[in-house]
Amino acid sequence: MRNFLAFLRQFRVILFLALLQGIALTWYFTFLQYPRSQYLTSANAFSGAFYEMQHEITEFIHLKQNNDWLQKKVARLEARQVENLLKIDRENITVNDTLYMVQYVYTPAEVIKSTHTMRNNYFTINIGSVQGVKEGMGVFGINGVVGTIHSVDLHMSTVKTCLTENVNIAAMIEDSGEHGFMKWDGKNPRKGSLTGISNDRKVKKWSNVITRGSAGTFPRGLPIGKVQKTAPIEGKPLWDVTVLFAEDYRRIQRVFVIKNLLLEEQQRLENNINAPK
């Protein structure tokens, strides 16, 4: 106690000045509006920055979980789009779930390996025959068509993407109905060509190019890209239609494998067209 009193006597002037300074600052921030608002703004800004950083860290930790949930949600929503449904009652045009059955099912997958600089490019995805994947099934990304299943093992599959020599995806120009097949020349991974388009029809720039759905691999109407330019093919009555792909195959990470529940029925009927009766 004697030491404490000695300390107070020795530093009484400094302590007294500190007390007066504290009282002055308290009155200053309490009664003067502008300094008070500046102080509170700075404090709030600091708190806001701290909580924002905390939120971003938490969001990063749960990023994969949220992505998985979102991908499954998109798959369920895609499966319920009208173009993925088969109408049962042909007499009633009202859109009603009791009149439709699901024709296309979407299974989410992750790309675990990919190429885009070769003449024929492939993706490896993390689902296989255990999840019902079969050769020839369509593969769709968040933004557009990716390709078709090339080979399947138990837990993995390879995908032949649109960046291959013979991709041959049936496609059409949405506003005109002109249809052909997608090709790739092995040069620009962002652009492909739509072949078989007659040059007696005008093709508008930036028209949507979508899946035709004729082969049963994809439902009709999935985005492939947009018409970037057209040029006549020498010696042929056709346009060379350059398509800017909707999907950037250099960056894609998540896809959906599309299963057509009625594909076998379609193929069985088409194979019997030329069969003798």
Same domain flag for 111 and 226: yes
Q: What is the CATH number of the domain that holds 172?
A: 2.40.10.340
Same domain for 111 and 170, yes or no, is: yes
Same domain, 39 and 135: no
53 shares its domain with 112: no
DSSP state letters, 149-193:
EEEE-SS-EEEEESSSTT---EEEETTT--EEEEE--SS-TTEEE
Number of domains in the chain: 2
181 part of a folded domain: yes
- Provide the phi-psi class of 177: left if phi over 0, else alpha when psi is between -120 and 50, else beta: left
Expressed as residue numbers, the domain containing 122 is 104-261
Q: Is residue 69 part of a domain?
A: no
β-bridge pairing 170-173 and 179-183: antiparallel
> Is the same domain home to 111 and 245?
yes
Residue 34 in domain: yes
Same domain, yes or no: 34 and 163: no
Least confident of 8-12, 19-23, 86-90: 86-90
Residues 55 and 109 in one domain: no
- What mean pLDDT do residues 133-139 have? 95
One domain for residues 45 and 180: no
Identity of the residue numbered 109? A
Closest CA to 190 of 162, 213, 209, 210: 162
- Decide if 70 is inside a domain: no
Residue 89's pLDDT band (boundaries 50, 70, 90)?
Answer: very low
On whether both 157 and 51 belong to a single domain, the answer is no
Report yes or no on 91 lying in a domain: no
**Looking at the structure, do residues 246 and 134 belong to the same domain, yes or no?**
yes
Residue 49 burial by Cβ neighbours in a 10 Å radius (0-12, 13-18, 19+):
exposed
Per-residue pLDDT, averaged over 207-211, amounts to 96
Rounded to two decimals, the pTM is 0.65
3-state SS assignment for residue 94: coil
Which residues, in sequence order, are CB contacts of 142 under 8 Å at separation 6+? 74, 247, 252, 254
Q: Is residue 238 a part of any domain in this protein?
A: yes
Any domain includes 117? yes
Whether residue 30 is found in the same domain as residue 110: no
pLDDT for residue 18: 74
| Lowest-pLDDT choice from 3-12, 103-112, 136-145, 157-166 | 3-12
- Residue 256's pLDDT band (cuts 50, 70, 90): very high
Same domain, 218 and 124: yes
pLDDT for the residue numbered 30? 58
Does residue 15 lie within any of the structural domains? yes
d(CA 70, CA 78): 12
For 239-254, the pLDDT digits (tens) are 999 999 999 999 888 9
Q: Give residue 158's pLDDT.
A: 96
